[in-house]
Amino acid sequence: MEKGKNVKKAVVKTPPSHQPQSIQYNLFSQFFGDKDKLSNTIEIWDGVPKYFVSKQAQTKQRDQKGSLQPINRSFEYKGIHCRVVIQPAFLEQENGEFKAFYPSANEELLEDVLRKFFSDQRLGFHDVKQDESWVRFSISMIKKELAGKGKARNLSQIKESLEILSRSVLSLYVEDELIYTNPILADVTKVTRKQYLEDPSGYWMARLPALVSKSVNEVTYRQYNYAKMMGLNFQPSRWLMKRLSHHYVNASHLTSYEILLSSIVRDSGLFPYKRVPDQVKQFEKSLEELKSKKVINHYEKKEKIEAKNKIKDVLYTLYAHSDFIKDVKAANARKKRGQIDLDASF
């Protein structure tokens, strides 16, 4: 979807009344290890930069009417050129006026929580034939989960994040071909204020992105340490941990993971600094946090210097911590078992 064009209203779908049985969803819900601490990264979806404009940056970018323009960002996924266009959500304020919001770090945390809820078969619904995934939740459940992970948000903040996720529209292009357009959360069924006052644990429903459903059907997700990721304070740290969990599949004491600073800046969108030294400083704060949380053991860097002794880029070589190696081995075993079970079901 190009900038300035109207969004075509999607057909509103209704939540399922029961859980269709499927081997694919059963596999997605089963983990090798403590399931309370584990969740799934989703192929390509988690590689799309969606939450990279901070609240502070949005305040500076809004015009006098509170509007924001659709944002357009290029990135690469496994060497493939991609582009994402995000149309902001317009939320009504207490004074009756509307203000635009891009999804940012708060919404990222909330999506991670909802994906965790989705992996619980009491809360998730997945229909293989319809290629749909739904999650059931309450505001109080989200509040409790975020607080338990050290990311406490009040009820108003949670509701605002849900509005942003359901009203901002994301369009994904792969090699200039549009492959997906939808809100991050679609067809949200809310609990009214009256219902909430009568029962704060009342359930909402929301449909997860089609790319999540596709990954469930094709078993292209990977298990990762959700509890540890939620405990990270820096947003780039969380981004890198997910990337490592999905791509550093041969993690061991004998193997390393190499990544260029320029690739990190391009693909995450989380380093809005023009000077390379500033990018280095911020990224290495995240690396130090990942060291402290036993994701990486240590790292090395090799600077690429251009004229006048100016840093052009930095090649980072990361070495996994023993705890992360154990997590990756469990994820590999689970993926192998899942593929065997899926093949055997046909």
Alpha helix locations (H) across 53-104?
Answer: 55-61
Q: Measuring CA to CA, how many Å separate 110 from each of 41, 103, 215?
A: 15, 11, 20
Q: How confident is the model at residue 2 (pLDDT cuts 50, 70, 90)?
A: very low
- The reply to whether 101 and 135 lie within a common domain is yes
In a domain, 26, yes or no: no
CA distance 171 to 88: 12
- The reply to whether 213 and 244 lie within a common domain is no
pLDDT of residue 201: 66
Which amino acid, 56?
Q
- The reply to whether 197 and 255 lie within a common domain is no
The one-character DSSP state at 19 is -
Averaged confidence pLDDT in the chain: 92
Q: How confident is the model at residue 337 (pLDDT cuts 50, 70, 90)?
A: very high
Q: How many domains does the chain have?
A: 2
Over range 302-328, report the average pLDDT.
95
In a domain, 226, yes or no: no
Contact between 19 and 125 (Cβ < 8 Å):
yes
- The reply to whether 55 and 146 lie within a common domain is yes
pLDDT of residue 193: 64
Check residues 140 and 201 and name the one with the higher pLDDT: 140
Q: State which of 192, 220, 248 marks the end of a domain.
A: 220
Q: What are phi and psi of 145, to 5 degrees?
A: -65, -45
Q: How confident is the model at residue 1 (pLDDT cuts 50, 70, 90)?
A: very low
Percentage of residues in the chain having pLDDT higher than 70: 93
Give per-residue pLDDT as tens, 213-259: 999 999 999 999 999 999 999 999 999 999 999 999 999 999 999 99
- The reply to whether 189 and 256 lie within a common domain is no
Residue owning tokens 């404009």: 53
In a domain, 330, yes or no: no
In a domain, 180, yes or no: yes
In a domain, 31, yes or no: no
- The reply to whether 270 and 201 lie within a common domain is no
- The reply to whether 286 and 193 lie within a common domain is no
Over range 100-126, report the average pLDDT.
96
In a domain, 152, yes or no: yes
Give per-residue pLDDT as tens, 252-278: 999 999 999 999 999 999 999 999 999
- The reply to whether 317 and 285 lie within a common domain is yes
Contact between 188 and 204 (Cβ < 8 Å):
yes
Over range 118-131, report the average pLDDT.
92
- The reply to whether 210 and 72 lie within a common domain is yes
- The reply to whether 213 and 257 lie within a common domain is no
In a domain, 14, yes or no: no
pLDDT of residue 199: 67
pLDDT of residue 258: 98
State yes or no: pLDDT of 7 exceeds 50: no
Over range 35-48, report the average pLDDT.
95
Over range 313-332, report the average pLDDT.
98
The boundaries of the domain holding residue 252 are 238-322
**Within the chain, what is the greatest distance between any pair of CA atoms?**
68
CA distance 85 to 100: 15
CB neighbourhood size of 84 (10 A): 19
- The reply to whether 172 and 121 lie within a common domain is yes
Residue 246 belongs to domain with CATH number: 1.10.10
State yes or no: pLDDT of 9 exceeds 60: no
- The reply to whether 175 and 302 lie within a common domain is no
pLDDT of residue 5: 42
In a domain, 129, yes or no: yes
Give per-residue pLDDT as tens, 145-162: 999 999 999 999 999 999
Check residues 147 and 201 and name the one with the higher pLDDT: 147
Least confident of 75-79, 86-90, 110-114, 186-190: 186-190
